[in-house]
Amino acid sequence: MEWIGENDSIETWQEVSLVYNAAMRQVRTKMEILNEEFQHVHQYNPIEHIKSRIKTPESIVKKLRRHGLDSTIENMVNYVNDIAGVRIICSFTSDIFMLADMIEHQQDIKVIGIKDYITYPKSSGYKSYHMIVTVPVYLSDRMVETKVEIQIRTVAMDFWASLEHKIHYKFEGDAPEHIKQELVDCAHLVSDLDEKMLQLNEEILEFSRKLEEQNG
């Protein structure tokens, strides 16, 4: 089957919606399968839950305008990387990098960009692991390589990001300084909590291993 670039194969918003919805569902299904496999093999679920969404036309147009671009389908496809988004919520920070590595090794997923806000948080305190990937969407007469943004974060990080998002829109991106500082302070608390929960989990696992050895 001949490969057709996104520019040449997507011409209307209906096609954008169709193709990106298909790509989003593919990625979500892959993550659910990985989680089920982990449960079967290791009796452990690294993924707490998965969220997915397609960006609205209004949101896409706003993003294009912020970058000084015309609101065309071609610009949407070329310059907006998060039309389709999948967010993976994990229990522990160690799960984030493990899942990112698994995603990179999926044969039909191509990673085209990574932003590691776990190792290098934003100044606001925001932490998450972002991957821009492409997956092949097979239509009746062609295949379209389609971009999906994957965000991987812990439950605690997601809770913080949800509040930060609400505040950002409440104040239209210009929150009072004392609220911004409170958010940064909360981000530090979230990081400490994630680290302590990871340490506690590792201690529990080590205790379980020793108990199995004694009873083995």
Q: What percent of the chain has pLDDT over 70?
A: 95
Q: Report pTM.
A: 0.88
Contact 71, 64 (CB under 8 A): yes
Across 9-18, 34-43, 51-60, 171-180, the highest mean pLDDT is recorded for 51-60
Q: CA nearest 151: which of 12, 6, 45, 53?
A: 53
Which residues of the chain form beta strands (DSSP E)?
A: 47-54, 84-90, 110-116, 129-138, 143-154
Contact 25, 88 (CB under 8 A): no
Residue that is written with structure tokens 């015309």 in the block = 70
197-207 confidence digits (pLDDT tens): 999 989 988 88
Please give the radius of gyration of the chain, using alpha carbons only, rounded to the nearest integer.
20
Q: Quick one: pLDDT at residue 6?
A: 42
Q: What percent of the chain has pLDDT over 90?
A: 72
Backbone conformation region of residue 172, classed left if phi is above 0, alpha if psi is from -120 to 50, else beta:
left
Segment 177-202 shows an average pLDDT of 93
Quote the CA–CA distance of 209 and 115 in Å, as a whole number. Answer: 35
| Residues in Cβ contact with 73 at an 8 Å cutoff, skipping those fewer than 6 apart | 10, 11, 12, 13, 15, 16
Q: Quick one: pLDDT at residue 1?
A: 30
Q: What average pLDDT is seen over the chain? A: 90
Q: Name the catalytic one among 15, 36, 104, 149.
A: 149
8-state DSSP, 61: H
Q: Which two tokens stand for residue 176?
A: 């009072």
70-89 confidence digits (pLDDT tens): 999 999 999 999 999 999 99
Segment 140-159 shows an average pLDDT of 95
Q: CA nearest 208: which of 12, 42, 36?
A: 42
DSSP 185-205: HHHHHHHHHHHHHHHHHHHHH
Phi, psi of 165 (to 5 degrees): -65, -45
Confidence of residue 8 (pLDDT cuts 50, 70, 90): very low
- Residue 104 falls in the annotated catalytic set: no
Confidence of residue 9 (pLDDT cuts 50, 70, 90): low
Q: Quick one: pLDDT at residue 43?
A: 83
Instruction: List domains and CATH numbers for the chain.
Output: 6-156 (3.30.460.10)
101-130 confidence digits (pLDDT tens): 999 999 999 999 999 999 999 999 999 999
